Structure formats: structure tokens, C-alpha cells
Amino acid sequence: MAYDPENIFAKILRGELPAHKVYEDAHVFSFMDIFPQGKGHTLVIPKAPAENLFDLPGDALANLIQATQKVSVAVRDVFEPDGVLIAQFNGAAAGQTVFHIHFHIIPRWEGDALPGHGHTGRGDDAELAVMAKEIAAKL
């Protein structure tokens, strides 16, 4: 499949759709997932157009993983979870639903079930905005 410049994340990067921004630099953009699988579910995407891990050049991938680590530390510091799930999917069969490479950062607590993506409904915009500001303040 070829990269689709009309995917939702490309539209967010172009400012055509809103997002609750957590972090941005010259290479990456991080924001709250609007269909969170748990409190603090954050996404990190490259600004480079790439469908998945296999399409992203090494230097852009290095920037992406470094930013993912940076944002993950902030998420951990804000929510103080028992653990942090960091996930990245390649292809529909692997669970990828938006075909612009991205990492999910999801705080996890012992005994808390992880619902499937999109099964929890849309997050509350006011709550997402507060969480985005809390995470950004730790960066």
C-alpha cells in the first residue's frame, strides 16, 4: 500500500484537524489519542510521511524513537503507573488502523484490563486537554 497523504495523522500535521498537543519538534509530533485505551494514552508520530516502520528512513526512525522515549518518561512521571505499554503496529493484520507510523504510549496499572483500540469510545476533550498540558509540563 502506498502512503496516503489524506490519512488522519497527515491532516493533523497539516493543521487540518485538531489535536491535543503534548510535544513537537522539527521531526515529530506527539498528542493525546482521542480514542484512549486508558488514562494518558499518548501518540508520537514522525513528520516524515511513512506508512509503517519499514518505510521510515533510519534517521527519521531514530528521531521518532528518541522522542517516544522522552514523551514516555513524561507520561510515566505524570500518571505514576505500574508500567507503561509502548506499542507500534505495521499493517492491518497487525492491528494498524491509521497508516502513518506511530507509537502508542499507554500507562498501565496492575489488574486493569486493556480494552481494544476504539472500544472505549471517544475521550472527553476537556480531560484530554488537561492531560496534554500535564504531560507537556514534564518535558
- Per the residue annotation, which of 20, 100, 102, 117 is the catalytic one? 102
CA angle 32, 34, 37 (to 5 degrees): 85
102 is catalytic: yes
Return d(Cα 119, Cα 138) in angstroms, integer. 29
CA atoms within 13 A on the CB side of 127: 12
- Backbone φ/ψ region at 124: left (φ over 0), alpha (ψ -120 to 50), beta: beta
Which residue's C-alpha cell is 483500540? 117
CA atoms within 13 A on the CB side of 138: 18
**Catalytic center residues:** 102
